[in-house]
């Protein structure tokens, strides 16, 4: 059966799930003090959990040592108020190394990201995530996207592992997700969590809610927490009028802006955090900074979103 503590804490929709960016100083090194401030502000703004060093946190760009330092800093900054879930990825051996580093750093759980490069069959994927889940005492959420796409049967098998508590979907295939939810409901444990993990998950929130998936990662929360909180509250209250107003006036234009550049799902968010007044630095290569006109458009959208939250016309 699914282990209870982390699953129970994540299943309560008390606020958005916060994926902080990783702060770098002027010398390009990780800036742990600024990172702690970023995490602490997110918790104080109402985040239900902190997902440290995941996609938005540039997991791919961190050394194992930097990773462990950042996870420990996130644990320190949250001070037990909300759970900390850390990324783990690459090939099985290295993913296990990151998982054990996260455990040493005090994380409450793992977000298991796709293996590096290879496109594996279901048998290999099941073995990979099973070995990763077996490697520590931490509860694990498996991330479906890119080269890690699962059949319903594989998700059922993963759901039966005592330390695999959920599936985060970054693929966006609702037909597949509905079949996964149905299969686990009939053949898996009674409690299993699902997360909408698309880059700007609010845009598809209504669609995922229709198949029973209400948990989601909020990149916008990193730079516009009041707006993200307003959307989260409306979605969970069934206030579709407010949800649609925020989608039409902020989230759809944000996605259209995000689609203007590769890697903007990270670099545009990081630019937004800088616009909020916290200098978290730029992104590491191979990502690149947004163009000046795109940052200007982001400023306009943040201002427009604030007016929408206030109930004014934008």
Query: What span, in angstroms and rounded, lies between the C-alpha atoms of 224 and 217?
Result: 14
pLDDT for the residue numbered 51: 98
What was the pLDDT predicted at 314? 42
Q: Is 145 exposed, middle or buried (0-12, 13-18, 19+ CB in 10 A)?
A: middle
Q: Looking at the predicted structure, is the pLDDT value of residue 191 above 80? A: yes
Residue pair 110/87 in contact (Cβ under 8 Å)? The answer is yes
> Domains of the chain by range and CATH?
5-224 (3.20.20.70)
- Give the per-residue pLDDT at 184: 98
* Predicted structure pTM score: 0.95
Instruction: Convert the pLDDT of each residue in 250-288 to its tens digit.
Output: 999 999 999 999 999 999 999 999 999 999 999 999 999
Whether 146 shows a pLDDT value over 80: the answer reads yes
pLDDT of residue 311: 74
Asked if 85 and 141 count as a contact pair (C-beta separation under 8 A), the reply is yes
Element (H, E) at 116: none
pLDDT band for 3, please (50, 70, 90 cuts).
very low
Q: Please tell me the distance from the alpha carbon of residue 260 to that of residue 237, in angstroms, as a whole number.
A: 33
Burial class (CB in 10 A: 0-12, 13-18, 19+), 37: middle
CA distances from 8 to 13, 99, 233, 241, 312 (A): 10, 21, 19, 29, 37
| CA nearest neighbour of 18 among 219, 239, 280, 266 | 219
Question: What is the predicted pLDDT for the residue at 2?
Answer: 39
- pLDDT at residue 55 above 60? yes
Q: pLDDT at residue 1 above 70?
A: no
Q: Is 264 a catalytic residue?
A: no
**What's the pLDDT band for 236 if we cut at 50, 70, 90?**
very high
Average pLDDT over residues 88-98: 97
Q: Which of 143, 208, 216, 251 is catalytic?
A: 143
Residues 28, 97, 147, 141, CA torsion sign: negative
| Catalytic residue check, 168 | yes
> How does residue 176 score in pLDDT terms, banded at 50, 70 and 90?
very high
Name the active-site residue from 168, 194, 264, 270: 168
- Quick one: pLDDT band at residue 209, thresholds 50, 70, 90? very high
What is the rounded average pLDDT of the residues 75-81?
Answer: 96
Over residues 112-128, mean pLDDT: 96
**pLDDT at 4 > cutoff 80:** no
């Amino acid at each position: 059966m699914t282990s209870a503590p982390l699953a129970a804490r994540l299943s309560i929709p008390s606020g958005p799930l916060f994926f902080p960016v990783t702060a770098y100083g002027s010398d390009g090194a990780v800036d742990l003090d600024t990172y702690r401030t970023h995490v602490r502000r997110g918790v104080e703004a109402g985040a239900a959990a902190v997902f440290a060093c995941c996609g938005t946190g540039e997991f791919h760009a961190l050394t194992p040592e930097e990773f462990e330092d950042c996870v420990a800093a996130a644990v320190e900054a949250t001070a037990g108020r909300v759970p900390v879930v850390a990324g783990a990825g690459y090939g099985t051996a290295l993913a296990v190394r990151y998982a054990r580093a996260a455990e040493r750093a005090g994380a409450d759980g793992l977000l298991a990201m796709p293996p590096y490069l290879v496109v594996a069959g279901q048998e290999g994927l099941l073995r990979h995530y099973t070995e990763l889940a077996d490697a520590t005492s931490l509860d694990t959420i498996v991330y479906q996207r890119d080269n890690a796409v699962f059949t319903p049967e594989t998700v059922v098998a993963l759901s039966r592992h005592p330390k695999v508590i959920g599936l985060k979907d970054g693929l966006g295939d609702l037909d597949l997700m509905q079949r996964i939810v149905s299969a686990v409901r009939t053949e898996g444990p009674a409690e299993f969590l699902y997360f909408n993990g698309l880059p700007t998950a609010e845009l598809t929130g209504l669609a995922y809610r229709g198949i029973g998936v209400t948990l989601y990662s909020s990149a916008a929360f990193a730079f516009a927490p009041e707006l993200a909180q307003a959307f989260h509250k409306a979605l969970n209250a069934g206030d579709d009028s407010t949800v649609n107003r925020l989608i039409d006036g902020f989230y759809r234009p944000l996605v259209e802006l995000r689609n203007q550049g590769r890697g903007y799902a990270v670099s545009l968010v990081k630019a937004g955090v800088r616009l909020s007044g916290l200098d978290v630095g730029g992104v590491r290569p191979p990502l690149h900074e947004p163009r000046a006109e795109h940052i200007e458009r982001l400023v306009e959208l943040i201002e427009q979103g604030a007016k929408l939250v206030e109930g004014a016309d934008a």
